[in-house]
Amino acid sequence: MTELLKNYVAGQWVAGNGEGSTLTDPVTGEALVRVSSQGLDLPRAFDFAREQGGAALRALTYAERAARLADIVRLLEAKRDDYYAIAIANSGTTRNDSAVDIDGGIFTLSYYAKLGATLGDVHALRDGPATSLSKDQSFSVQHVLAPTRGVALFINAFNFPSWGLWEKAAPALLSGVPVIVKPATATAWLTQRMVADVVEAGILPQGALSVICGSSAGLLDQVQAFDVVSFTGSAETAAILRAHAAFVQRGARLNVEADSLNSAILCADATPDTPAFELFIKEVVREMTVKSGQKCTAIRRAFVPEASLEAVLDALKAKLAKITVGNPRNDSVRMGSLVCREQYESVLAGIAALREEAVLAYDGSAVPPVDADPAIAACIAPHLFVVNDPDRATLLHDVEVFGPVATVAPYEPASDASELREAHAIALARRGRGSLVASVYSNDDAHLARVALELADTHGRVHAVSPSVQGSHTGHGNVMPMSLHGGPGRAGGGEELGGWRALAFYHRRAAIQASSTGIDVLTQMAHSLET
């Protein structure tokens, strides 16, 4: 029988009861390890994290906590090869795709370590300048941010077992808030190993970082008023979470990142003979194939001028035909597998659903996987759809297939000079009811700014690409720690990252009203986020 991975709670490694769930290699079907959270003393785990881990973290200054993050970065860098091996075996990702998760997580940690070092040896933050409350200027108010005296519970998705942990844990630990992470079962091995390495190194105080692998049953019952919960997953599950007493009655905070039908818009000026057209084609293909399309930020809908539709389809099909799919251990393979056969079946069901109103322009089902048994491996080649009437379509704007699947649809550029030529495309993008990201492609930087601002109300991030940034833009789907990650509406309404903005979720804002002398003393005790 395979090894049962232990959980780390209340400062101890504890094995769950029962046989647990088996994690497998999604290419070979080989059983790898098992996980179980059954029988854990959850009340003790949460109490220990709040009382021991939280107190120890808050005793450190921001700069001291930042130094601990930097130590974690060095540790993870030294063990990078171990993590790559786990990712290939458990997630079925190529080395390049594993880097998106592993190196992306390490980079995010490094960013917050450097940011935290600038906050200094203080225990609170000032939010804006002091404001006088009296005519004689003797009585003022200063808004401050103080770390919440609770625990941060992360319920993460299967696609980013490394980055999903560290993009949340970095700002939480820097804020002085202990972390309990519940990774998705299918890919929990990498998260568990990273936590184990950090624990063994003794970098953080006991109780500052815990991991629970297996079922999430009972976790929300432990959440109290000053705890915070961050969830990444489906909108359906998020709706269930929002109704829990932890949030409805006890008032705990909940951050959600959910389904997102992200868009890419080819502007009217980006005709097939221009550089912006090539940038658009390259990015759509990249977003369809990186991590086999298993990214919450991947392009799902591509809106193109009606006159360019055929040229777009031809260019995309030509590039997709060159994508080799299969066993990531084979050097010729550019795209690995989905994370498991369950996800494989889910993607097939999504493809079948889209076929009810869309036409397959590129059918990946005819592409055999390399070095993989199609009856066992969770490998699916790219599928490209086209919807010729996106205004009447419904599934296009409602069904997200979480795999290497995208749909192209034409829009009609406006002829009225008083409105943006891409107004129709913007309206179609908004039918996603709130998305994490939209990208826009034009040869005109000034025009891109106008289109981007029109998309800002319904998107958490707008990625504007022109030839002037072809060698420097970070990519439609890449989440950078300096930029906001999250989106309104269907995308969950949450906000993560965005530089120091990520710290706000783990702090409580208070208005301190005092004499000018008292405010002056307070100024020395808290670092200003404005500097």
Fold classification of 263-491 (topology level):
Aldehyde Dehydrogenase; Chain A, domain 2 (3.40.309)
Cα-Cα-Cα-Cα torsion 35, 36, 37, 39, nearest 10 degrees, comes to -150
Chain segment 86-119, per-residue pLDDT in tens: 999 999 999 999 999 999 999 999 999 999 999 9
Specify the amino acid at residue 343. Answer: Q
Region of 509 please: left (phi>0), alpha (psi -120 to 50) or beta: beta
Q: Are 463 and 517 a contacting pair, CB within 8 Å?
A: no
Chain segment 417-451, per-residue pLDDT in tens: 778 999 999 999 999 999 999 999 999 999 999 99
Residue 321: CB atoms within 10 Å: 12
What percent of the chain lies above the pLDDT cut of 90? 96
Q: How confident is the model at residue 530 (pLDDT cuts 50, 70, 90)?
A: low
Whether residue 531 is predicted with pLDDT greater than 70 in this model: the reply is no
- The partner residues of 255 in beta bridges, in order of sequence, read 230
Q: For 144, phi and psi rounded to 5 degrees?
A: -130, 160
Which CATH number describes the domain made up of 4-258+509-522? 3.40.605.10
Whether residue 416 is predicted with pLDDT greater than 90 in this model: the reply is no
Cα–Cα distance measured from residue 25 to residue 30, given in angstroms and rounded to the nearest whole number: 5
- Degrees, nearest 5: CA angle 516-518-520: 70
The reported pTM is 0.96
Q: By C-alpha distance, which of 289, 294, 287, 299 is closest to 408?
A: 299
Separation in Å, CA 230 to CA 124, 172, 223, 479: 22, 11, 12, 17
In three-state secondary structure terms, 409 is strand
Cα–Cα distance measured from residue 349 to residue 343, given in angstroms and rounded to the nearest whole number: 10
Chain segment 197-226, per-residue pLDDT in tens: 999 999 999 999 999 999 999 999 999 999
Q: Where are the domains of the chain?
A: 4-258+509-522, 263-491
Q: What is the DSSP letter of 338?
A: -
257 is catalytic: yes
Span 74-91, average pLDDT:
98
In three-state secondary structure terms, 364 is helix
Cα–Cα distance measured from residue 341 to residue 319, given in angstroms and rounded to the nearest whole number: 26
Given the residues 213, 267, 296, 340, the one annotated as active site: 296
What percent of the chain lies above the pLDDT cut of 70? 100
Specify the amino acid at residue 353. Answer: A
Chain segment 362-399, per-residue pLDDT in tens: 999 989 999 999 999 999 999 999 999 999 999 999 99
72: part of which helix (H) or strand (E)? helix 62-78
Residue 366 burial (CB < 10 Å; 0-12/13-18/19+)?
exposed
- Degrees, nearest 5: CA angle 438-441-443: 155
Chain segment 324-362, per-residue pLDDT in tens: 999 999 999 999 999 999 999 999 999 999 999 999 999
Give me the chain's average pLDDT, please.
96
Q: For 394, phi and psi rounded to 5 degrees?
A: -125, -45
400 is catalytic: no
Residue with tokens 């107004």: 423
Span 119-146, average pLDDT:
94
pLDDT at 113: 98
Whether residue 413 is predicted with pLDDT greater than 50 in this model: the reply is yes
Written as one string, the DSSP assignment of 415-478 is: --TTS-TTHHHHHHHHTTSSEEEEEEE-S-HHHHHHHHHHHGGGEEEEEEE-GGGTTT---SS-
Span 248-258, average pLDDT:
97
Cα–Cα distance measured from residue 437 to residue 261, given in angstroms and rounded to the nearest whole number: 9
Given the residues 257, 454, 495, 496, the one annotated as active site: 257
Q: Pairing relation of β-strands 3-5 and 31-35?
A: parallel
